[in-house]
Amino acid sequence: MTDKVSFIKQVTKALGRSKMIRPTENYATAIFDDRHLASANAVQAVTDADSMSASLIEQMVQSADEAGWKVHRTDNFEESAELIVSICKDHNANSVLRSAHSVLTDIPLDSALTASGAVLEVTEHSSESSIQQIQKSKSAAFRADVGITGVDYAVAETGTVVLHPRAGVSRLLSLAPPTHIAVLRPGDVLASLDELFAIQRDDFLNGELQGSMNLISGPSKTADIEGTTVTGIHGPLEVHLIIIENNKS
Amino acid sequence: MKPLTINFRSKAAQTIVDEQVQNSLEHVYTGFYQGRLNAAADTPNWEELRTKGKAIKDHTIAHLDHYLDMLSGKVEENGGTVFFADNADEARQYITKLAKDRDIATVIKAKSMVSEEMSLAENMNDAGFEAVETDLGEYIIQLAGETPYHLIAPAVHKSRKDVADLLDKDFTDGDRVPDATELTMLAREQLRDVFARADMSVTGVNFAVAESGSIVLVTNEGNGRMSTSVPRIHVAVMGMEKIVPSIQDLSTMLRILIRSATGQRISTYVTMVNGPKTPDEEEGPDEFHLVIMNNGRHKLLRDPLLRESLNCIRCGACLNACPVYRKVGGHAYGWVYPGPIGAIVTPVITGLKDASDLPAASSLCGACHEACPVKINIPRMLLELRHRTAEGLSDPNERTSKFSERAIWKAWRIGMMGRGRFDWGARIGYLFMRPFSINGWMKKAPPPISGWTLSRDFPLIARESLKSRLNRRHKKDV
Amino acid sequence: MPETLYNNLGTQSVTLFATCMIDQMAPAVGESTVEVLEHLGLQVNFVDQQTCCGQPAFNSGFRSESLPVAQRFLELFEKVDGPIIVPSGSCAAMVRNFYTDLFKHDEGLVERARSLSERVYEFTEFIDRFFGCNAIVGTCDDQVTYHKCCHLLREIGIDEQPLKMLSNIDGLRITPMNRADVCCGFGGAFSVKMPDISSAILDEKLDNIEATKANRLVAGDIGCIYQIQGGLRRRGSTTRVLHIAEILSESIRNSKTGKVTE
């Protein structure tokens, strides 16, 4: 059985040294950037996302479309809720699940969906949820027709929606149902992956790194059979991105 | 996985004449290779990114001990468990014991070449677990009982008919072969069930971030995400070299990996896992294990010339660019890693003696070096390995050259060490070859170059050397 | 390559390194090289004692046999002044890019190799660098295509320049080849050690050549030229392959004599 010490010792030896030395600088990796620099980068990313939100949204619309999202732009919260209902109707959705993201309560989604007759489940449980309740939620995600989430960040460079986990069942909502709808607020669009990871690094250095992060850039796809691209292999076949242009009811 | 490198030549010969596989390998060029070129053209600072990526990996490998120490400390701080495996057997035993101890019934696997080194699925199935590959390509070859054909497209050599037969013998209706969509949907259905009941997942790692103890998975299908969301235990296995120091480094590395692999700006899914699930989450694994494996990589690390091969981020670009790979296919290389990078890594890890054909199977065209997102100088390393198999100067066990070959090069050297003998040797050669040639070309060349004329005419040596001709034109000597 | 010592060359005299294959198998290519260089106003010297740069043994891994041959090359060519012109990308690359690995156990040899490398040029590289791609004017009424030899492309870094030189020739129609930058499968000893793989790669190249319907193929390395010509002949093709020096000198001669073809 190998232990950590002897494993690492073997690596040190292979590097031609008798003792491990700690590097102190390198121009290419960001690991030597101190907290101030990391913080400054993160702040810049967020500031730019806000000040350039109009142009970043235009970029996002294009890159998301190229990545395979069905992109919709709405003017206000109500329109957004209506649009979601109409997408669900198009898919004859009976069972709809949504995450606990705040944007999904900002828009009058629950009432609109209930009114339309779709069975809406909100997967927010308390810490006292039983194992059975949790299992039930997971199974519901596999049975659902549509999964709805918010968007924590979007990345204009790549047409990417970034999701952090929410309380309850949230990872599966953008993965298991055949249709996924993501709702994006302006001001959450970052220019590129550099900005996204700058924010993550800053969060990490502040002890606030989330347990996981998922970057989603279009519908699930594969080209493993004869090089032909097919969508919807394990994840959703169809993904919709709703961009609410104004924070208005 | 037991290396079958000794079969390189026969496997290569079989593949060259297999029309269906040759058609599939053509896709590797028109699809992946072209994709990378298009993505590179589309990325204004592409060369800068490559330079930076190389520098990040050079630095990481040069301090691999330090970053392994950092990574493992952080993973444990985040609530994960780290297991250091010296070799594939140890890694497999750890995972199997873990599954046994936790009463696991179904194991899903996603995106791990390292797990192929330990033949994990096969062994776990033999041990009574249900171990299922979930990547469509890997699923197909698991059903076929084969090993991966390409780093990122494991079933590239299979036709639709092959796949239809593997997924369901009764699926084909008469002469009609189902199209790719139908087959994909069938696989989705078959695997859905497996996902829902999986208790443990084993995934690979595209990048392990040392500073935060995070692992990053790059996929297009969603099985990587399933693996990190549904089962109660997630085991990530990695070769010890797959580290990057900082979270911020990921923006560079993800760009060069994905654009070089498929030409996409980004893969459909990039999943970053920082440990087991947080208390208020309901899905997500309760346990996170990181298995860090050596399995012979220290042999690459300790050699300053071969060390660069550990910079590899497993994108497959070198395979797609290689004219040899595109003819001989993945299985000829006889182990987990095919293509140009395989021709370096496989012999050093599994034994140069049986794998001496691998570094020899190259025209040294340099397309791999040109394609590599982190600029690994593969031709230079191939030449080094050829030196070892030819002369075995630092380790006589590595010498596989035949006496006749050594004698030929000795004679060559003698012939090249003086102008007089150089000229005489050529003129004698001319005299011998002339009776067998017509219009300056031969249909059958003598050994040791008889292989040439199997498929090409061979040119006759000149009757008169250039030196002689120039001297006749009164060119001055120096 | 470090910055040149020569501004507009600054010398009238260059030395030819023929390469062993051109010297003993394709001397006409060597003569054409000399003719082109003389046409540019240069005096071309020839080191009578030259043989080989050592590449074949090096590529096959027999460095102990390659070393003395390479060292002999170094000794011979150190003695000459000025640029050394090599009508082969692979041989020029051997000296410039691989001698440091071959000589790595001897600092002195490494240093001498580096120093010599500063004035070693591949033929088209040399013309492009000091005279420009429009310097050679000539006539040739023909339809040709061009193959990008791997070492010239990736080790020396010469890509489109030879094509520019060819397009400067009056009457020469150049049909671009599909996958012109993909290897022909030669690879030196590889072509006889693994002939089935070498030929399979060649087949694809030959298909691409024939698809251009060109009368002749132009390339910069004699090994590739023999691989391709040998394969075309075996197929019964009438397409001929020639070295770029040959077509350039032919075009120059045509201009002088008033002919349009040879």
pLDDT value of position A249: 47
Interval B118-135 mean pLDDT: 95
Distance CA B120, CA B98 (A): 13
Interval C186-199 mean pLDDT: 97
Place of tokens 């059903």: B143
Mean pLDDT of chain A: 91
pLDDT band at B169, cuts 50/70/90?
Answer: low
Helix (H) or strand (E) holding C240: strand C240-243
The sheet with strand C120-122 has its strands ordered as: C43-46, C13-16, C84-86, C120-122
Q: Would the pLDDT of A210 be above 50?
A: yes
**Among the ranges given (A231-245, B272-286, C229-243), the one the predictor scored with the smallest mean pLDDT:** B272-286
List, for residues C63-83, the tens digit of each pLDDT value: 999 999 999 999 999 999 999
Q: Which residues contact B154 (CB under 8 A, 6 or more apart)?
A: A224, B135, B137, B138, B140, B141, B148
* Interface A:C, ≥3 CB–CB pairs < 8 Å: no
Contact (CB, 8 A) for B254 and B270 = yes
Distance CA C139, CA C258 (A): 9
pLDDT value of position A2: 67
The answer to whether residue A11 is domain-embedded is no
Chains B & C: contacts with CB separation below 8 Å: 209
- Any idea how long chain C is? 262
Residue in C32, C151, C234 to test binding to B, most B beta-carbons within 10 Å: C234
CB contact under 8 A, B459 and C150: no
Q: Which residues of chain A does B276 touch, with a Cβ-Cβ cutoff of 8 Å?
A: 211
Which residue range forms the structural domain that includes residue A133? Answer: 35-244
Interval A92-108 mean pLDDT: 89
Of C24, C54, C201, the CB nearest to B461: C24
pLDDT value of position C4: 36
Interface of B with A in 436-455 (CB under 8 A): none
Q: How far is B62 from chain C (nearest CA, A)?
A: 21
Place of tokens 């069905």: A70
Rounded percentage of chain B residues whose pLDDT exceeds 90: 88
The answer to whether residue A209 is domain-embedded is yes
CATH class name, domain C134-256: alpha beta
Q: How far is C67 from chain B (nearest CA, A)?
A: 9
Q: Does B66 touch chain A (CB under 8 A)?
A: yes
Interval A13-40 mean pLDDT: 96
The answer to whether residue A171 is domain-embedded is yes
Residues forming beta bridges with residue B292, ordered by sequence position: B84, B238
Q: Which residues contact B395 (CB under 8 A, 6 or more apart)?
A: B388
Q: Would the pLDDT of A125 be above 90?
A: no
- As for the ipTM of the complex, it is 0.95
pLDDT band at A117, cuts 50/70/90?
Answer: confident
Tokens of A132: 């059975």
What CATH number has the domain bearing residue A127? 3.40.50.10420
Q: Would the pLDDT of A49 be above 60?
A: yes
Tokens of B400: 């596989």
CB contact under 8 A, A215 and B266: yes
**Among the ranges given (A235-249, B242-256, B381-395, C217-231), the one the predictor scored with the smallest mean pLDDT:** A235-249
Distance of CA B36 to the CA centre of its chain: 17
* Interface C:B, ≥3 CB–CB pairs < 8 Å: yes
Distance CA A240, CA A96 (A): 14
Q: Does B278 touch chain A (CB under 8 A)?
A: yes
Q: Would the pLDDT of B475 be above 60?
A: no
pLDDT band at B320, cuts 50/70/90?
Answer: very high
Q: Would the pLDDT of B72 be above 60?
A: yes
The answer to whether residue A129 is domain-embedded is yes
Distance CA B423, CA C36 (A): 25
Q: How far is B478 from chain A (nearest CA, A)?
A: 48
Question: How do strand A230-231 and strand A238-244 relate by DSSP bridges?
Answer: unpaired
Domain boundaries for CATH 3.40.50 within chain C: 134-256
Q: Does C124 touch chain B (CB under 8 A)?
A: no
Q: Does B402 touch chain C (CB under 8 A)?
A: no
**Among B101, B121, B92, residue whose Cα is nearest residue B109:** B121
The answer to whether residue A3 is domain-embedded is no
Chain B's closest residue to C191, CA to CA, is B452
Q: Would the pLDDT of B25 be above 80?
A: yes
pLDDT band at C7, cuts 50/70/90?
Answer: very low
pLDDT value of position B477: 46
Tokens of B351: 């034994």
Contact (CB, 8 A) for B271 and B207 = no
Chain B's closest residue to A200, CA to CA, is B247
Which SS3 state, helix, strand or coil, does residue A185 take?
Answer: coil
Rounded percentage of chain A residues whose pLDDT exceeds 70: 95
Neighbours of B, requiring at least 3 CB pairs below 8 Å, are A, C
Structural domains in chain A (count):
1
DSSP state of C87: S
Q: Does C18 touch chain B (CB under 8 A)?
A: yes
Q: Would the pLDDT of B376 be above 50?
A: yes
CB contact under 8 A, A7 and B294: yes
The answer to whether residue A29 is domain-embedded is no
Interval A117-135 mean pLDDT: 69
CB contact under 8 A, A235 and B85: no
Tokens of C88: 């082969």
Q: Which residues of chain A does B222 touch, with a Cβ-Cβ cutoff of 8 Å?
A: 175, 220, 233-236
**Among the ranges given (A48-52, A120-124, B446-450, C17-21), the one the predictor scored with the smallest mean pLDDT:** A120-124
Interval B252-281 mean pLDDT: 93
Distance of CA C161 to the CA centre of its chain: 13
Q: Which residues of chain B does A200 touch, with a Cβ-Cβ cutoff of 8 Å?
A: 247, 272
